[in-house]
């Protein structure tokens, strides 16, 4: 049966750990210039209804390095943007390509696409989740800390797609997570409830210092995500005090690392000083999108 990559909670820890092992192997091969054409002759369709730098480039380059090919398709230049039903898009694309990565608004649309397609579907970000980013983030933690096990993770900022994905990750991998958001900007209730039922250890607070104290991994994201641009000014006020800055880093563990999925708004959710400072691993994190997504594609498509 085909497998999709729509949300971390559809996967077991054991299977995700295998993806990390494969990531390590593929990254080493890439660095040593060894050929690894596991997806020779295969094509990935990339459907975008939102902007992207990292996701588009890392998937396209990743397919090339695996010996395959990637097609960039934006909603503005395909029939998707003119309202062709997703079930038809899924069935037609399944006749041409070997896998689809989609970035869009609705998680339900991605799930419908998966249901009507006979090929693997990868979630390249929805309003609800960003699972590929989470895999790159955790792989970066493994590289810098040896393991995700025993680390205390801290999220400061919006209860958005990234925060929801961290909560899923806490449920799947069993690590301690603390989430600090302003009141009214908490993560999805359904995501929190399902994670709790699955045994996740998550502290929810409106105090960023409570979340950051002694933490090993600090993490944030923009205050207004794609699609929320008109709320930018209102959010700036609501999120004042939820910035990763020197004061926050000082209460975290002395050896803490700082993650940000990027793009960042410097001196809003994170200071320029911290993102450029010694705790920041954001460019390793961005690079790891490439390696981890290659492992995801090989796992699903080979």
Shortest reach from residue 103's CB to ligand CP, in Å: 7
Check if the beta carbon of residue 162 is closer than 8 Å to that of residue 260.
Answer: no
Q: To which residue do tokens 């090339």 refer?
A: 64
Q: At what angle do helices 189-197 and 161-173 cross, to 10 degrees?
A: 0
Please say if 289 is a catalytic residue. Answer: yes
Which of the following is catalytic: 103, 178, 235, 279? Answer: 103
Please say if 261 is a catalytic residue. Answer: yes
Shortest reach from residue 40's CB to ligand CP, in Å: 26
Residue 83, number of CB atoms within 10 A of its CB: 6
Pattern 112-151, ligand CP, x by CB under 6 A:
-------------x-------x------------------
Task: Kindly tell me which of 48 and 116 has the beta carbon lying closer to ligand NVA.
Answer: 48
Shortest reach from residue 208's CB to ligand NVA, in Å: 18
C-alpha–C-alpha distance, residues 177 and 203, integer Å: 6
- Segment holding 64, helix H or strand E: helix 54-65
Positions 177 through 216 that interact with ligand CP (CB under 6 A): none
Q: Which one of ligand NVA, ligand CP, none is in contact with 53 (Cβ closer than 5 to 8 A by kind)?
A: ligand CP
Asked if 291 touches ligand CP (CB under 6 A), the answer is no
Which tokens is 38 given? 């596991």
Shortest reach from residue 258's CB to ligand CP, in Å: 15
- Segment holding 151, helix H or strand E: none
Positions 239 through 278 that interact with ligand CP (CB under 6 A): 261-263
Which of the following is catalytic: 154, 289, 291, 293? Answer: 289
Strand order in the sheet with 43-48: 69-74, 43-48, 99-103, 121-123
Shortest reach from residue 302's CB to ligand NVA, in Å: 27
Q: To which residue do tokens 């910035």 refer?
A: 243
List alpha helices for the chain, DSSP H.
13-31, 54-65, 86-96, 107-116, 131-145, 161-173, 189-197, 208-212, 232-238, 246-251, 272-275, 282-301
Total site size for ligand CP, rule CB under 6 A: 9
Task: Kindly tell me which of 14 and 229 has the beta carbon lying closer to ligand NVA.
Answer: 229
Which of the following is catalytic: 130, 235, 279, 291? Answer: 130
C-alpha–C-alpha distance, residues 44 and 297, integer Å: 9
Residue 60, number of CB atoms within 10 A of its CB: 18
Which of the following is catalytic: 133, 151, 243, 293? Answer: 133
Residue 41, number of CB atoms within 10 A of its CB: 9
Pattern 32-61, ligand CP, x by CB under 6 A:
--------------------xxxx------
Please say if 82 is a catalytic residue. Answer: no
C-alpha–C-alpha distance, residues 136 and 132, integer Å: 6
Task: Kindly tell me which of 132 and 248 has the beta carbon lying closer to ligand CP.
Answer: 132
Shortest reach from residue 134's CB to ligand CP, in Å: 11
Q: Which residues bind ligand NVA (CB under 6 A)?
A: 125, 160-162, 221-222, 225-226, 261
- CA atoms 78, 84, 90, 92: torsion sign: negative
Asked if 164 touches ligand CP (CB under 6 A), the answer is no
Q: How many alpha carbons lie under 13 Å from residue 162 in its C-beta half-sphere?
A: 25
C-alpha–C-alpha distance, residues 8 and 140, integer Å: 17
Please say if 178 is a catalytic residue. Answer: no
Which positions are catalytic? 103, 130, 133, 221, 261, 289
Question: What does the binding site for ligand CP look like in residue numbers (CB under 6 A)?
Answer: 52-55, 125, 133, 261-263
């Amino acid at each position: 049966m085909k497998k999709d990559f729509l949300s971390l909670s559809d996967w077991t820890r054991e299977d995700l750990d295998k993806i990390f092992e494969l990531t390590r192997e593929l990254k080493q091969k890439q660095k040593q210039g060894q050929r690894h054409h596991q997806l020779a002759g295969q094509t990935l369709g990339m459907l975008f209804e939102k902007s992207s730098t990292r996701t588009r480039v890392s998937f396209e380059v990743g397919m090339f390095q695996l010996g395959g090919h990637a097609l960039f398709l934006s909603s503005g230049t395909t029939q998707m943007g003119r309202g062709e039903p997703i079930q038809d898009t899924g069935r037609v694309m399944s006749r041409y390509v070997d896998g689809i990565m989609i970035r869009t608004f609705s998680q339900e649309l991605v799930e419908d696409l998966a249901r009507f397609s006979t090929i693997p579907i990868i979630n390249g970000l929805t309003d609800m989740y960003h699972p590929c980013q989470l895999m790159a983030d955790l792989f970066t933690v493994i590289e810098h800390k040896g393991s995700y096990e025993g680390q205390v993770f801290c999220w400061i900022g919006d209860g958005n797609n990234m925060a929801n994905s961290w909560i899923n990750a806490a449920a799947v991998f069993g690590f301690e997570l603390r989430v600090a958001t302003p009141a009214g900007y908490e993560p999805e209730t359904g995501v929190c409830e399902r994670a709790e039922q699955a045994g996740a250890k998550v502290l929810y607070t409106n105090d960023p210092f409570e979340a950051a104290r002694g933490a090993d991994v600090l993490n944030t994201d923009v205050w207004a995500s794609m699609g929320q641009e008109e709320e930018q000014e209102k959010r700036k006020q609501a999120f004042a005090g939820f910035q990763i800055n020197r004061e926050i880093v000082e209460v975290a563990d002395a050896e803490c690392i700082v993650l940000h999925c990027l793009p960042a708004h410097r001196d809003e959710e994170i200071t320029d000083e911290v993102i450029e400072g010694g705790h920041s691993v954001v460019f390793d994190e961005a690079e790891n999108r490439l390696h981890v997504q290659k492992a995801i594609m090989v796992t699903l498509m080979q």
